[in-house]
Structure 1
Amino acid sequence: MRQSFTTQPALFASHELFEHPALGALDAVEEVIDWSRIEALLPRGEERRQTGRPGYPAQTLFRALLLGLWYDLSDVKLSAQLARDLLFRKFCRLELDQGVPEASTLGRFRARLGDRLEAVLAEVVAMLEDARVVLAEGRIAIIDATVVEAAQSGYDRRDPEAGSAVKLTVKGRRRAVWGWQAFVNADEDGFVRRVAVSPGNRAEVDSLEDLVVGDEAALYADGAYSSPRSRALVARTGMADRVQQRGAKHKRLGPQDKARNVEIGVTRARVEAIFGHWKRHWGLRRTRFLGLAKMRILTGLAAVGWNLWKGARFRTLYG
């Protein structure tokens, strides 16, 4: 039978033996939400391992995947880290005399998350609203995309579901890559509300309607979203149009339009912090996974992980 997640590991019951600041590094994440509400949305954990021993609760496996994201670990390295790291064991409720999930177990559980991550993300946002970490009044939608290189991107072997995209290098130069576009809808404080994924060669505006929740007061986006479809969307939903304008060869932007674009850009640029952190610290410059379905799961997990990480930081700084 499956072990219960609620069992407190005996390893951490004695503060006298294991009191150390390093073991409290994830306490703020632990306390920022009610994890039982997340567990109710997850697929069931493993009932029994091949060895015949009890399997792992869904929340243990989900927390392990978050650790793999936050510390940029492959499933193989994550399993090894769970075996030897006290902080990881504490966060996932794994006692020292208990085995750890193998890489294949973690991979199977990730694949089973599927569309459940959309509900998990919405529940995390709702709990952050209840805790007044996220403010719902008058919130806006800042929508943007970043290019994530495919796991297989060489000319001789490519992920067939990805597509060609243009990526900016560190020096600001443009480079063609084979990969994906990962989209986010973030509020003014930088919390993610919705995500989407498309092949790299799909127009950004094609994903716009999938990203809008419908309760936003304004839509902020760059010139890639300036189109009749975006204008029809803001008119239909009642959002203020804060999409930057694009100039054309025979229709250059005037000073007023340029000033408007600069003003919008100050707010819109806040979404870049999300992409920057994902890529610098979580390894999302390039995905480890093949196919659109797995890429959607990775992006959904990154959105949940970002909100938990940022929400914990907000509570620590501001109460």
Structure 2
Amino acid sequence: MTQLGLGLDLTTKRTRKREFLDEMGRVVPWSRQIALIEPHYPKGKTGRPPFPIATMLQIHFMQQWFGLSDPAMEEALYDVPLYREFAGLDGGMARLPDESTILRFRHLLETHGLAAQMLALVNEILTEKGLMLKAGSAVDAALIAAPSSTKNGSGTRDPETHSTQKAATGTSE
């Protein structure tokens, strides 16, 4: 038996990535997302049983949040205990999804147009909480409540808000 199998949590620091995943675990409507996918998910009547929908869904979300390809996600599941924990793969499950399993799940979502429905569902819940999620990736992510406009109560632009512009880099040949 390995030390990881003892069920001991030896981590002492709450990292930003852990805080982000914990918050996403709380605010994403997982059961409603699973209900969207369930009618289209393989039943696994023969062969190796499929991974639970919740596991594949959480892996898919991590891929989107952290900008990981299918092979990179497979590798991250082996390398990063936090990712396995978030996906529910730490509970004595001997196998992990490989890149082709991750790819097939993504294709299932694309084939049935579920990704757009899932994003809309998440945004509906987050909007109720004053938050918003857009397509993209999270590097050092945190959810913050932000006003819907840069204009103040009187309808004019707030002088303390600034927009930034990428500096033009000219190269001469």
Please tell me whether residue 313 in structure 1 is matched to residue 121 in structure 2.
Answer: no
Report the equivalent of 1:41: 36
Correspondence for 1:20 among 13, 37, 41: 13
Please tell me whether residue 83 in structure 1 is matched to residue 78 in structure 2.
Answer: yes
Structure 1 alignment gaps of length 5 or more = 1-9, 135-190, 193-302
Deviations 1:5-34 (A, max 9, x none): xxxxx979655x344324724212222232
In the aligned structure 2, how far is the partner of 1:21 from the partner of 1:118?
A: 32
Provide TM-score, normalisation by structure 1: 0.36
Bigger radius of gyration, 1 or 2?
A: 1
Provide TM-score, normalisation by structure 2: 0.62
SS at structure 1 position matched to 2:68: coil
Residues 70 and 111 of structure 1: CA distance in aligned 2, closer, same or farther (over 3 Å): same
Query: Matches of residues 281-300 of structure 1 in structure 2 within 5 Å?
Result: none
SS at structure 1 position matched to 2:84: helix
State the Cα distance separating 1:88 from its structure 2 match. 0.6
Report the equivalent of 1:163: none
The question of whether the paired residues in 1 share the 8 Å contact of 2:42 and 2:50 is answered with yes
Query: Matches of residues 243-254 of structure 1 in structure 2 within 5 Å?
Result: none
Residues 21 and 65 of structure 1: CA distance in aligned 2, closer, same or farther (over 3 Å): same
Query: Matches of residues 52-63 of structure 1 in structure 2 within 5 Å?
Result: 52=48, 54-63=49-58
SS at structure 2 position matched to 1:42: helix
Residues 12 and 77 of structure 1: CA distance in aligned 2, closer, same or farther (over 3 Å): farther
In the aligned structure 1, how far is the partner of 2:43 from the partner of 2:29?
A: 24
Residues 88 and 112 of structure 1: CA distance in aligned 2, closer, same or farther (over 3 Å): same
Report the equivalent of 1:74: 69
The question of whether the paired residues in 1 share the 8 Å contact of 2:5 and 2:92 is answered with no
Query: Matches of residues 88-99 of structure 1 in structure 2 within 5 Å?
Result: 88-95=83-90, 97-98=92-93, 99=95
SS at structure 2 position matched to 1:125: helix
State the Cα distance separating 1:69 from its structure 2 match. 3.0
Query: Matches of residues 75-154 of structure 1 in structure 2 within 5 Å?
Result: 75-95=70-90, 97-98=92-93, 99-114=95-110, 115-133=113-131
State the Cα distance separating 1:59 from its structure 2 match. 2.3
In the aligned structure 2, how far is the partner of 1:64 from the partner of 1:24?
A: 15
Query: Matches of residues 160-179 of structure 1 in structure 2 within 5 Å?
Result: none
In the aligned structure 2, how far is the partner of 1:74 from the partner of 1:39?
A: 22
State the Cα distance separating 1:35 from its structure 2 match. 1.8
SS at structure 2 position matched to 1:110: helix
Residues 45 and 95 of structure 1: CA distance in aligned 2, closer, same or farther (over 3 Å): farther
Greater per-residue strand proportion: 1
In the aligned structure 1, how far is the partner of 2:97 from the partner of 2:41?
A: 11
Q: Read off the aligned partner of 1:106 and give its amino acid letter.
A: I
In the aligned structure 2, how far is the partner of 1:18 from the partner of 1:50?
A: 40
Q: Read off the aligned partner of 1:314 and give its amino acid letter.
A: I
- Percentage identity across aligned positions? 26
Structure 2 alignment gaps of length 5 or more = 148-173
The question of whether the paired residues in 2 share the 8 Å contact of 1:68 and 1:74 is answered with yes
The question of whether the paired residues in 2 share the 8 Å contact of 1:47 and 1:56 is answered with no
SS at structure 2 position matched to 1:94: coil
CA-atom RMSD in angstroms: 3.5
Count of matched residue positions in the alignment of Structure 1 and Structure 2: 137
